[in-house]
Each structure stands twice: as structure tokens, then as C-alpha cells.
Amino acid sequence: MEKGDVTLGTKGKISVIMPVHQTERYVKQAVQSIMHQTHEILELILIDDHSSEACTEIIQSLKREDERITVHDLEKGKTVGAARNLGLKHATGDYIYFIDSDDYLPERTLAILIEHVKGQPMIHGRVKSTGFGSGMAIVLDGLFKVKQHTEKRYHLFKNRSVLNTLFRTEYIRTHGLSFREDVQHESDLAFLVPALAETISVPYVKEAVYFKRKRNDPITEPSLSQADEAEKITDFLSVYHALKDQFPDEETQHYLDTQLLNYYRKEMVMYFKVNDHIDGVYEPLRVALKRVHPDEVQGWFFKREMKAIQRHVTAYKKVSKQHHLLRDMRNGMKSRRKLYIFLYQHVFSKLSIKENVIFLESFLGKNYSCSPKYMYAYMQEHYPNYRYVWSFTEKRNIPGNAKQVKRFSLRYFYYLARAKYWISNSRLPKYLTKREGNIYVQNWHGTPLKTLVFDMEDIHSADPNYKKSFYEQSRRWDYLSSPNQYSSDIFRRAFQFEKEMLEYGYPRNDILYQQNNPTDIQAFKTKMNLPLDKKIVLYAPTWRDDEFFSRGKYKFNLQLDLELLQERLGKEYIIVLRMHYFIANQLDISGFEGFVYDFSTYDDIAELYLVSDILMTDYSSVFFDYANLKRPILFFTYDLDKYRDTLRGFYMYLEKEGPGPLLMTSEEVVQAIENIETMTSSYAANYSAFYNRFCHWDNGQATKRTVEHVFGEPK
Ligand code: C2G
């Protein structure tokens, strides 16, 4: 349907009410999605609570662009309920529609709603969650099915929200409907229940879609629903009591009780896992639960808790604790891993901590490498009084006297619980709660090019709760290694890291200073079974957030034309392929034996750096480390635009600041290698600026200095 075509709808004017509160990243899209509605007869009433200057600026400038927009000021600190009520006061339309300033609509949502409301007091559409800046809603004409919900009309609003409902203004005015202003949360319920109590049936049309943005950062940018749990519970209970008093009919009573019990079961119980949390809400909760009809309470756990809560706070706390233990145990029976987690949390962590045990892991146990390897090797020599436990996915041949444990085995959990020290270069699972006395050294694994955690906007990876999980996991780090000032600055912000930064360069890069000589290089080549008469191009790309089989298992499509490379470079060069440790598929290199070598499972990429003559990568942090060798670097960036602009975003202009050229095709790669000397000299100035900025702290002493900082000088 063309924009402006109102044949689908009636001519009714819609007043869209949008409270604006700290959503500078999203409000523009929200407003534009209203202004671009095909049903154009509308006014947009923006309520500015002045919580953010940036928001005020954005909405004032949007207002200048369209006369259908008005902005009204709300006193600072007032609630969203107050904002919506103010909007209602100014509304002049025949219909009212509420939208939040971080959400957005496909362009036909309002047209579909208004066409199907047909004289009824309200109509409801579908609310879809999305993690991204633009959701997809394909709506085909003529397929709309309107369902009338009569007895189950309350059921339509099980999320207790007025969003994506078109109300007739007259209905709101006649019944004096308004939002509670004294609560921050659940003010919708106080509007909805009376609205539903006065109507018989509510039509629902699923093609009218509303995109609700799933906010991915509850830590630095929480949405209202991600706010303090105690406050949410208190508000809910206050609204519950008021409505229970006001609407004695059976249906409403049942709806309210169900809401309370669902809330209790799904959220409160988890919140009470920290026993002290109960104190803040005990009394109002006790009184509220007393009002619930006994038939509504089902299940042994639940009944026992209901009885205890009526007795006394200490009785309830005791029962809550027992039940959590039982729940954990029951959960522990579900799989071997879950049983081990249970034992880790409730048994092993209660045993004494072993002061001289160090637990190490590198790249999720996949290899013996990176900074943990070099810390271990150094400590083996200089700190004989410690005992070492390495976690691997498979048994490995490693030097020294370390005990090896299989990752996620019973011994893995046992030693993690008992070791005083943890050394790792990536995150450890969230359920490994840190015990008192534990010291966790996080080496991390690269200078960042791609934006990290709290600097990321949309999350395209397999884990939608990435930011929250990362935050929780990184709270356990006591020390964090940093390779350069640039990384320190980013880590502080993007990881929200506030503890001690170890600013000595990367232990994993010492080898690039200590063993960068012909004898050692030849020995490595021999160990690797690589030809001694060929030059080596190491191709080490990174992973792509949106190409995966499942969580943690990513796939890689090789875009290099190996045939072309072999034909043009085969006489002089061989190619060593090295996939990122997240990549789960094996590359097919059959037919290229003697020219292409797959070193994806080789332990230590630093040794591959040493034997290679040229590094080729894309957006992997490997080039920051490789630059320590001052050898040529090429970037094969065939998907640069998508990677940089959609998936991750970068911290620097690779085109301008990178130490080598960006190549888009295999032909360009071949030409760059054929003319490697010319290329090298044309990038000399860039390279040396790059080296000075990123490799300045690395000088072959990082391991010693890092170890001594954490463990003191050897005795
Ligand atoms: N790596 C590797 N082989 C590759 C790619 C990476 O061995 N083909 C290793 C390198 O040690 C590299 C590290 O894994 O430095 C991190 O890889 P990146 O490709 O940079 O990607 P990522 O794991 O997302 O970490 O701050 C750094 C970032 O977090 C990047």
C-alpha cells in the first residue's frame, strides 16, 4: 500500500503518546517509525522528562521537521505513568496509542489496528522482541484474521502492558482511565485492569506488529524492566493490593492472583536465592500472598513456602534456603555437568583453599599457548614451590610437572574450587562463583580492533545475553594484562574493569623477542615438518559473529582462491592456514598438499608467527602481536563493510592506520605478495607509527614482570 493511502483505515485520528526517558540511541528511530506510518492522520505527543540533554536535543529537532509532533515537559523525576497521563491530557485524537521511546513500529501497524477496531473500545496487536535496530515484519494484504477474545481477554495481556493496543479515546475518558503516578513499575496494570473490567471482548490482530527492543546492556544502560528488583516487587505489590480492593469480581481476582504467583515463581524466587534480599520485601509480600485464593497455590515446594511466609521471616528464609539447595540438587540430577556444578558450589568450594595451587587455561582449554603458557613456563623454572593444574579439552604433551585435567570433568571442578590462583586468557563459565581468597589473573587475548562488550551496540553473536554475562564473569578478575596504553584505555571502559591492570606487554609476545633468530626459526620449522626452502604466508583470519552452528561453534568459509595462489605463488611460497579457535568446521584443502598446510589445531600461534615471512589476516588481533616482528602484514578484508558496520564496529580506521594494505580479492592478494617489497616500502611510515603505538611495551620481559607483580619475586 502506498504511503498516505487510507483506504485500509477509517479517517480516525490517532494520538500516539511517547514518554522519552534516556534513550538517545533509540528515540530517533522510534519517532521516525511513527511519522512514517501509512496511516498519516495522527499526532505524536512526546513527553520529555529532561533526563538526558541529548534526548531533548534530538526530539526538538525532530519536532521542527513535522508539525504533527508536539513536545510537552514533565518535571524531572516523575514516573512513566505521570508522563503518559500528561500525554492523555493533551491528546486530541479519536484513538490513543502508547509506544516506548526505545521501540519502533513497521509502517502499517497503526493502519491495520484502526481498520479492524470496528467500533470496539480497543484492539490489540502482536509485540515482538528484537535485539536489533531493525526488525523484519512482512505483512501480506488480505490475510488478516481478527480473533475476538472474550473470556480470555485478560490472557491477551499476560505481560501486563498497554503496548500495542489502540484505545478509543472516548472509552478512556468515559471510564476515567489513567496510570498510577506513584509507582515506577506496573503502572500499566492499574490502567489495564479497569479497562478490561469494563469491556466484554478484545479483538486481536497478529499482523499489527510492535517491535520491542530487547536491551542488551542491563549494566550501564538498564531499561525500566531491568531496574532494581526490590523496587519492582514493592511497586507490583502496591498495585496488586489496590486492584484487589477495587475489583472484587471473580475473573479480575483470578487474573491478579495469577499475575502475583507467576511473578513470585519466575522472578522473586530467583531473587531470593540471596537470602538477605528477602528482608526488603518480606512484609508486603506476606500480606499479599495471604490474599491469594488457596486453590491457586499448587505444588509441594510452593505450598510449603506459603505456609512458612505466614509464620515468620526467619522460618521463610530457612525454607527458601532449603528449597534452593533442593532445586540445585534436582537440577544437578539433570546431567553430569550439572551434577559437577552442584558439587563445585556446594561441596568443593566449602573445602579449604590450597594456597600454592595454580589453575591454568588458555583459549577454553583448546591448546597450550598464549600468556598462560609463558607464565607457567617461567614459573616452572623460578617458582618451584607452586603446584600447577592445566585444563585441556584433550590430553596434551606439555613440559613441566603440571597435573592435567579434562575441561568440565569432575577433577576440573575440584581443582578450580580448591586452587587459590586462576590464570586464564579468556572467560571462565558464569557458574564458577569466585570463592573468598581466590586470585584470578586474566591475561586476555589481544589488542582490540573490533569493539568490545560495552562498546558494542547490537549483539549479533550466538549469546544474546553477552553483555550481562561478560559483566558478571569479569567482576571476578583481580588482574588484567594489557599490551599497550590503547588497550588499557579500552579495557577500562569496555570491560568496566576497575581493578589492577598489568601494563607490561603480553607475556605471549616475549618469544618474538627472545627466539627471533635463524637457528630457533629453523628448529621450529623442522618440528612443524614445514619445507625449509619456501617462504611462508600465514593466513590467520578471525571469526564472524553471525556465522555459527551453535553457541561457541562458529563456521568459516574460505574465500581465498587457493588454485590461483598456487599457480602464481607456488614456486616461492607455501600457505599456512590458521583458523580462529572458535571455528568448528575443518577446511577442505585436499588437492593442495605441499602448498597449503592447516595449522588450526597447532598449539601456539606465536611459533607460527616466527616461522612465517608474511602475515595475512582480516580483523583478528593477530596483527598487533605480529607487528613486533616488523615483518609484512596484509589484510584480506573481502567483507569489510559488513563486518565493520553491522557486526562489530572498529576502534580505528584500518584503511588509514593499518600497517598494510586492505585487499578485497584473491587477485589483489596475489599481486600484493608478488610485489611484497614495493608494498612494504610504501607502508613503512604507517608501520613504524603502528609499531610505536602498539608494540611499545613489549620487549621480551613481560612474563617476568607480570609474574613478579602477582606472586612477588622468587625466593
Ligand atoms: N588466534 C589464533 N588464530 C587465529 C585467530 C586468532 O590463534 N586465526 C588467537 C590469537 O592469539 C589472537 C586471539 O586468538 O590474538 C584472539 O583472536 P581474535 O581474532 O582477535 O578474536 P577474538 O577471540 O574475538 O578476540 O581484545 C581482543 C579481542 O577480543 C579479539
- CATH top-level class for 511-694? alpha beta
**Residues of the chain with confidence (pLDDT) below 70:** 1-11, 132-143, 217-227, 458-464, 647
**Burial class of residue 596, CB neighbours in 10 A (0-12, 13-18, 19+):** buried
Question: Can you give the pLDDT at residue 156?
Answer: 82
In the chain, domain spans: 14-216, 236-334, 344-449+464-507, 511-694
- The residue whose CA is least distant from atom 1 of ligand 1 is 580
β-strand pairing of 553-554 with 573-577? unpaired
Read off the pLDDT of residues 121-138 as tens digits, 9 standing for 90 and up.
999 999 998 876 666 666
> Does the beta carbon of 541 lie inside 6 Å of ligand 1?
yes
Residue 676: what residue type?
I
Q: How far is CA 508 from the centre of its chain?
A: 28
HSE toward the beta carbon, residue 293, CA cutoff 13 A: 14
Nearest ligand 1 atom to the CA of 582 is: 23
- Nearest residue to 238 via CA among 252, 256, 250: 256
List 391's β-bridge partners, or say none.
Answer: 405
Domain 344-449+464-507: what homologous superfamily? Answer: CDP-glycerol glycerophosphotransferase, N-terminal domain (3.40.50.11820)
Q: Distance between CA atoms of 101 and 106, rounded to whole angstroms?
A: 15
- The residue whose grid cell reads 505524536 is 44
- The residue whose CA is least distant from atom 19 of ligand 1 is 620
Centroid of ligand 1 to alpha carbon of 710 (angstroms): 25
Nearest ligand 1 atom to the CA of 543 is: 19
> Does the beta carbon of 578 lie inside 6 Å of ligand 1?
yes
- The residue whose CA is least distant from atom 4 of ligand 1 is 580
Query: For the chain, how many residues are written?
Result: 715
Same fold, 14-216 and 511-694: no
HEC profile for 631-676? Answer: CCEEEECCCHHHHHHHHCCECCCHHHHCCCCEECCHHHHHHHHHCH
Is there a contact between 122 and 167 (Cβ–Cβ < 8 Å)? yes
Question: Which of 370, 509, 621 has most ligand 1 atoms within 8 Å of its beta carbon, as the pocket-test mutant?
Answer: 621
Q: How many CB atoms lie within 10 A of CB 397?
A: 7
Nearest-10 Cα torsion for 166, 169, 175, 178:
70
> Does the beta carbon of 483 lie inside 6 Å of ligand 1?
no
> Does the beta carbon of 579 lie inside 6 Å of ligand 1?
yes
- The residue whose CA is least distant from atom 23 of ligand 1 is 445
> Does the beta carbon of 542 lie inside 6 Å of ligand 1?
yes
Nearest ligand 1 atom to the CA of 363 is: 14
Cell of 569: 605463488
Residue 51: what residue type?
S
Is there a contact between 51 and 22 (Cβ–Cβ < 8 Å)? yes
Q: Which helix H or strand E contains 19, and what residues bound it?
A: strand 14-20
**Burial class of residue 3, CB neighbours in 10 A (0-12, 13-18, 19+):** exposed
> Does the beta carbon of 365 lie inside 6 Å of ligand 1?
no
Question: Can you give the pLDDT at residue 611?
Answer: 98
Q: Distance between CA atoms of 168 and 602, rounded to whole angstroms?
A: 67
Q: How many CB atoms lie within 10 A of CB 74?
A: 21
Instruction: Assign a CATH topology to domain 14-216.
Output: Spore Coat Polysaccharide Biosynthesis Protein SpsA; Chain A (3.90.550)
Centroid of ligand 1 to alpha carbon of 73 (angstroms): 49
Q: How many CB atoms lie within 10 A of CB 207?
A: 21
HSE toward the beta carbon, residue 626, CA cutoff 13 A: 27
List 539's β-bridge partners, or say none.
Answer: 577, 616
Nearest ligand 1 atom to the CA of 619 is: 19
List 616's β-bridge partners, or say none.
Answer: 539, 634
Centroid of ligand 1 to alpha carbon of 621 (angstroms): 5
Cell of 490: 579500552
Helices (H) and strands (E) in the chain, counts: 28, 23
CA angle 661, 667, 669 (to 5 degrees): 35
> Does the beta carbon of 337 lie inside 6 Å of ligand 1?
no
> Does the beta carbon of 448 lie inside 6 Å of ligand 1?
yes
> Does the beta carbon of 162 lie inside 6 Å of ligand 1?
no
Question: Which of 445, 555, 576, 637 has most ligand 1 atoms within 8 Å of its beta carbon, as the pocket-test mutant?
Answer: 445
- State whether the Cα torsion 122-123-126-132 is positive or negative: negative
Nearest ligand 1 atom to the CA of 541 is: 8
Cell of 453: 562488550
Is there a contact between 94 and 134 (Cβ–Cβ < 8 Å)? no
> Does the beta carbon of 494 lie inside 6 Å of ligand 1?
no
Question: Can you give the pLDDT at residue 8?
Answer: 37
- The residue whose CA is least distant from atom 18 of ligand 1 is 620
Q: How far is CA 12 from the centre of its chain?
A: 42
Q: Which helix H or strand E contains 149, and what residues bound it?
A: strand 146-149
HEC profile for 271-309? Answer: HCCCCCHHHHHHHHHHHHHHCCCHHHCCCHHHHHHHHHH
Q: Distance between CA atoms of 112 and 143, rounded to whole angstroms?
A: 11
- The residue whose grid cell reads 623460578 is 382
